[in-house]
Every structure is written in C-alpha cells, then in structure tokens.
A = this chain, B = another copy of it.
Amino acid sequence: MTARKPADAAAGTQSGGREIPEATVARLPEYLRALTSLAEQGISVCSSEELAGAVNVNSAKLRKDLSYLGSYGTRGVGYDVDYLRYQIAREIGLTQDWPVAIVGIGNLGHALANYSGFGTRGFRVAALLDAAPERCEESVAGIPVRSFDDLDAVLAETPVAIGVIATPAEAAQGVADRLVAAGITSILNFAPTNLAVPAGVSVRKVDLSVELQILAYHEQRRAGAEELRGTAIAAAGEEQSA
C-alpha cells in the first residue's frame, strides 16, 4: 500500500474512507434486502454462497463486494446475518433517516407519497410540493401539499436530503435548478429528461419508457431469431459453403 494522506488516515475504520466501486454500491441494497429476508426467516448465519444465491449473483462477486466494506465474515463459518446487515446499513447510511421531498403530485407523485416501502428502511416523506397545489388534494398520505414557490420556506421548516422529481418532462430541469439552488445535492428523477446539474450533485434517473424499450429490443430480437431459424433451415440446402 502507498503512503496515506491525512484524510485517508483519519477515515480509518469508520465510514468515509475506502472508495467503493459504483457497481458494488448498486448491489449493497440488494444484499441488505436479502439479509433482512433471511433474518425474518430466523436464519442467523449464512455463507457467501447462500447469500449470493438469494440475490442471484456469483459468490465471488459477493465476497469481493463485501471486502470493500471490511472483513465481516468468519472463515470456515460464514457471515452473521444481523451483524452484516448492520454493517451494510451503516455503510449506505441507513442508520439515519433520510427526509425526502416529492415534487409533482400527479398520478406518480401520489403513488410515491403513498408508497409504504418508503418508510420501511431509512426514508421518510418529509414534504410534498406541486406547482399548482390548489389542483391537488390538500394532503396526501397525511402530508400537506405545498406550493413549489414556497420551496425555501418549506425547506426552512423541514430539512430535506433527497428531492424526487415526478413532474412532467418540461418542468423537470427548472425544478432541478431550484432544488439545487436551495442546497439539495441528491435528486431522483422520474421525468424523461437528462438533467444538467453542477458537479457535486448526484442524480439518479428512473425511466419507464427506457426500460420498456430495452425489453422491446430483446423481445424483437427473439422474434427475429425464431424467424431466422426457419429461414436458415430453408436456406441450408441451397447454401453449401459456410
């Protein structure tokens, strides 16, 4: 290992030190879910093979992923489910509660506000905002719908860590700009737009239509391949050379 800079040394065993690859970060929540499920089944110890099976990944990949967090397993035995669960939750930051604001209380925003899985682990809907709150119900899931114009006032009352954009595509960039200006550095975007944000702001995008298009591509491909198998058989007689 090369010489550490003071910042790295200070990071030590607590969170914040090692760089965890993005691909690994994206899988940690899956491991967490699987561990929770195991714990609910009363299973207290599991091997990398078992856990990997539950998440449908290669067990070597799982062990490598976990190795970025530290050495939380026992050779010859496996992982203590509760302990590993806590370590992953700590690494992701789920030992605290993250307040979320949803912007755009249309069909989707409504569904998101009512989504129970939200509170389940580490997240809490802290505010609902809409450009035209008078067109919405007054409150959804017990949370009042406020005007997006009052963003700063709302954030002064209730701190918010993550902004969820559930507006039409046209409004999304403007909303993002205002969220960023208000100091929010994490955005989950459901609108089909590529948001431009300054460095230091994280954006994740969920895009229904992209997912459907990817499925359509593979579906078409399968249909095409089926057709071709027929053609290939028919052509086999005429075409001799490979």
Contact = CB atoms under 8 A, between A and B. Distances in A.
Q: Is the interface of A mostly helix, strand, loop or mixed?
A: helix
> Which bracket fits the contact residues of A?
35 or more
Contacts of A15: 220-221, 224
A3 interface: yes
Contact of A202 (B5, B6, B206, B215): B215
B7 A192 contact: no
Contact of A25 (B120, B123, B217): B217
A213 B204 CA distance: 11
Interface stretch (A79-87, A93-101, A150-158): A93-101
Interface of A: 3-7, 9-11, 15-16, 20, 25-26, 28-30, 32-33, 54-56, 91-94, 96, 98, 100, 106-108, 110-112, 114-115, 117-118, 120-123, 161-162, 169, 185-188, 192, 194, 196, 200, 202, 204, 206-222, 224-225, 227-229, 231-232, 235-236, 239, 242
Contacts of A3: 242
Contact of A216 (B11, B122, B224): B122
11 contacts: A5-B232, A10-B228, A10-B231, A10-B232, A26-B210, A26-B214, A56-B194, A92-B216, A93-B216, A107-B110, A122-B216
Contacts of A9: 235, 239
